[in-house]
Amino acid sequence: MRFSDLIASFLDMMLAERNAAANTRAAYARDLADAAGFLARKKIDLVDANEEDLRGYLRANKKHAARTQARRLSALRQFFRFLCSENHRAEDPTRSIDAPKLGRVLPKYLSEEEVARLLDAVAHYPDADGLRLRVMLELLYAAGLRVTELVSLPTSSIQFDRALVLVKGKGGRERIVPLGEPALKAVQEWLPVRKQMLGKNASPYLFPSPTRINAPITRQRLFQLLKELALAARLDPKRLSPHVVRHAFATHLIEHGADLRSVQSMLGHADIATTQIYTHVAGDRLAQTVVEHHPLAKGLRK
């Protein structure tokens, strides 16, 4: 069986048996292609690689971040387990390879004042594209959506009578997230404008592409628009992305007393350990507040 066919079968398995998201499958395909290209330059076929061959590839990845190294090793592990299960390999060469230590990486997020500046800046955008960006930002911050969840959101997912949005997340898992009045009002303002922009065309997406029929706006375009908005709000564009707004949503909820299980549910995290990182962010911020403002922290004992 050719390597390309094995990769295709592996990715099909990831979809059929594990319901892996399209982005996950695409990332695995890129990582396996990278490993295959590295080994091919050494006249080694990835399918036939042994443990030392793979260790050599992973050593060459030391220049990358630990998370990139860990993701590439994960892709290799999944692939070789698949090969063993399908009797294309007798042994798994990744079984004795340890993943790099990742450590705790705190998510980047915006302060409430910075989010307010973004919303104020986008409110002054004059045209339909500006209204669309305002609605997208409102939903990112009001519901903590991932970028793919936002751009692929169907119009029918917004339920005005119940003040919520139905979100289809990673692995096809669905969740319900309440929406506040500002987000709902923004969507209501957007719907007639959206209809006018579509004209005679039809689209299930809340944010249809202006150039492609029956397709949503692209993730890349949203990233570009947010960078431009950051400049308008006098923020560093490098600090702003859809995921940073998602982090702000979670961090601000916890800072205002939301319980961890509720935040986990709204973010769509399968494991609460993933959500717990936001308690560290909020805790670090509270600790800094004490250092800066509490009299005892300044040595002003009475």
pLDDT digits (tens, 9 = 90+) for 261-271: 888 889 988 87
Q: Both 13 and 135 in a single domain?
A: no
With respect to residue 101, please indicate whether it lies within any of the assigned structural domains: no
Tell me what pLDDT residue 102 has: 57
Residue at 105 is within a domain: no
Per-residue model confidence (pLDDT) at position 2: 74
> Could you tell me if 81 and 117 lie in one domain?
no
Q: Domain check: are 78 and 170 in the same one?
A: no
**d(C-alpha 217, C-alpha 135), whole Å:** 13
pLDDT in tens, 99-151: 776 555 556 778 999 999 999 999 999 899 999 999 999 999 999 999 999 99
Among residues 71, 72, 132, 146, the one annotated as catalytic is 146
* Rounded mean pLDDT, 244-255: 90
Same domain, 143 and 276: yes
Q: Above 50 in pLDDT, residue 300?
A: no
Q: Is 243 a catalytic residue?
A: yes
| Same domain membership, residue 199 and residue 133 | yes
CATH number of the domain that 142 lies in? 1.10.443.10
Q: Any idea what the CATH number is for the domain that residue 57 is in?
A: 1.10.150
Output the pLDDT for position 213: 83
pLDDT band at 210 (very low <50, low <70, confident <90, very high): confident
Q: Is 7 part of any domain? A: yes
Same-domain pairing of 55 and 121 = no
Residue 175 has pLDDT above 90, yes or no: yes
The number of folded domains in the chain is 2
Angle at 110 between CA 109 and CA 111, to 5 degrees: 130
Residue 300 maps to a domain:
no
Asked if the structure places residue 156 within a domain, the reply is yes
Of 170, 185, 227, 280, the active-site residue reads 170
Last residue of one domain, picked from the residues 48, 69, 85: 85
Residue span of the structural domain in which 122 resides = 112-291
Instruction: Confirm whether 168 is a catalytic residue.
Output: no
Residue 297 counted as domain residue: no
Q: Could you tell me if 148 and 279 lie in one domain?
A: yes
Domain closes at, from 85, 101, 121: 85
Same-domain status, 143 and 58: no
302 occurs within a structural domain: no
pLDDT at 106: 55
Known active-site residue 278: yes
Residues 73, 210: one domain? no
- Pick the last residue of a domain from 50, 85, 120: 85
Is 256 catalytic? The answer is no
272 and 161 part of one domain: yes
Domain assignment present for residue 247? The answer is yes
Residues 156, 241 share a domain: yes
- Is 28 among the catalytic positions? no
Considering 72, 132, 246, 247, which one is annotated as catalytic? 246
The percent of residues above 90 in pLDDT, for the chain, comes to 54
154 and 77 belong to one structural domain = no
170 catalytic? Reply is: yes
